[in-house]
Amino acid sequence: MKKIFSITALVTVFALTLSSCGGGNENKSETATTPVEDVMVPPVEEAISNTLSLSAHDQMKFDKTELKALAGKPITLTFAHIGTMDRNAMGHNFILLKQGTNIDDFVKKALTAKDNDYIPKSESDKIIAHTKLLAGGESDTIEFTVPEKGTYDFICSFPGHAATMRGKLIVQ
């Protein structure tokens, strides 16, 4: 009888110890909630995809005026003309310009480059990447890399379009 009693006592003490430990753990997990959520927020590198899409309708507008990408990694950009008008009336292209390029000067020179999709050959050193000139219903996918972080202008160089068809590519 004496032996059984002492075992019962031991089991009781053990159970009490377990439950108090359990309580302690619950408290720990509650206080740990906030830092765990902070860790779950993906870092900037994972939140930015280098696969970009852009479109324009028969109005002279890009659907986005700001794109984001990561420096030093290949960027795949698909530009779609989702309107119906033809290339001569409402052609669109996407031209990504190097920093420091004067858009107005570039566009003036583009006016004389109709035979080259309005991409002036004399300004090729100011161009990082460009699509072809698209008619309604067409799209073009290009791949390029921007080595340096920074903000870069993109435009459509069809005559008159750059006034409203322009945006920024933010490279991080």
Binding mask 80-119 for Cu ion (x = CB under 5 A): ------------x---------------------------
User: 45 near 148, Cβ under 8 Å?
Assistant: no
Quick one: which of 110, 156, 162, 169 contacts Cu ion (CB under 5 A)? 156
Contact call for residue 130 and Cu ion (CB under 5 A): no
What's the CA gap between 64 and 100, in Å, rounded?
Answer: 22
What's the CA gap between 147 and 71, in Å, rounded?
Answer: 5
Q: Give the Cβ contact number of residue 52 at 10 Å.
A: 19
Binding mask 41-80 for Cu ion (x = CB under 5 A): ----------------------------------------
Quick one: which of 158, 166, 167, 171 contacts Cu ion (CB under 5 A)? 158
Cβ nearer to Cu ion, comparing 79 with 158: 158
Size (the chain), residues: 172
Q: Which two tokens stand for residue 102?
A: 């004067």
